[in-house]
Amino acid sequence: MRIVSWNVNGLRALIRKGIFPKFLELSGADVVTFQETKVREEQLPLDVLQLEGWHSYYSSAERLGYSGVALFSRRPADEIISSLPIAQFNDEGRYLVARFGDIHVASIYFPNGSGKNRDNSRVPYKLDFYDCVKNELNRMRETGPTFVTGDFNTAHTELDIARPKANAKTSGFLLEEREAFAQWLEDSWIDVFRAHHPNEPDHYTWWRQWGNSRENNVGWRIDYVLASSKAAALVTRAFHWPNVYGSDHCPIGIDCPTVNLL
């Protein structure tokens, strides 16, 4: 089994550019999760909704052109969960979990804490969302291996950001956000990429869209696969694909060769 995750910053943009179906096929993945899709299911063309060889699932924001997550899989999911127990977290389309047998795969787009005025006013909402999602997935992992994929919108340590000092007061690298991310690891979730690439610098998944940030690799690692202990034991490889373009994020993923979802 291969799982790939990508914050696409607009799924329809990938479709218009002809990147989307080609990426799915070339990914070699059994499950592909997307974040920041910015689209409702009914806005997608029929050839995407009925893409041969794939089953697709969506959670969309009430606000048009905003947020949203999706999941594509080679086999149909046995169960789809797209709501959280706290109502305020269900109107932005940030949460989607698919169950395949006893394996759960989540596609989650965690909020940015910046707020409309770049005053970090949304940090409390973000931290509460972190807690709510973690509590749900803590229960879910009791039933089988669980993978949490997506854009966490937080760089965990100074190793995960090119300019830590310059961004110490920027949402995504605030101390309270980093502590909230660390609480996942303290709850026995495993950052799979870091487990397979310990202490390696310069691995990023998001770059600003100006100043040649991507070309100069001045980025942030804010996209992750977190795994329960049972799930992490299945992973033999964790990777980033920084040379895949189409978004300001790059795809990430894992390989679990002993697991066959088909």
Exposure class string for 239-257: b at 16+ Cβ within 10 A, else e: bbebebebbbbbbbbbbbe
Question: Do 181 and 154 touch, CB atoms closer than 8 A?
Answer: yes
248 is catalytic: no
* Separation of alpha carbons 237 and 233, rounded Å: 11
* Separation of alpha carbons 151 and 4, rounded Å: 12
Strands (E), the chain: 2-7, 31-35, 55-59, 69-73, 79-81, 95-100, 103-109, 146-151, 190-191, 206-207, 219-220, 223-227, 237-240, 252-255
Q: At what angle do helices 123-140 and 175-186 cross, to 10 degrees?
A: 10
30, 91, 119, 151: the active-site residue: 151
Question: Do 249 and 234 touch, CB atoms closer than 8 A?
Answer: no
Q: Is 165 helix (H, G, I), strand (E, B) or coil?
A: helix
* Separation of alpha carbons 208 and 214, rounded Å: 7
Exposure class string for 51-71: b at 16+ Cβ within 10 A, else e: beebebbbbbbeeeeebbbbb
What positions carry a catalytic annotation?
151
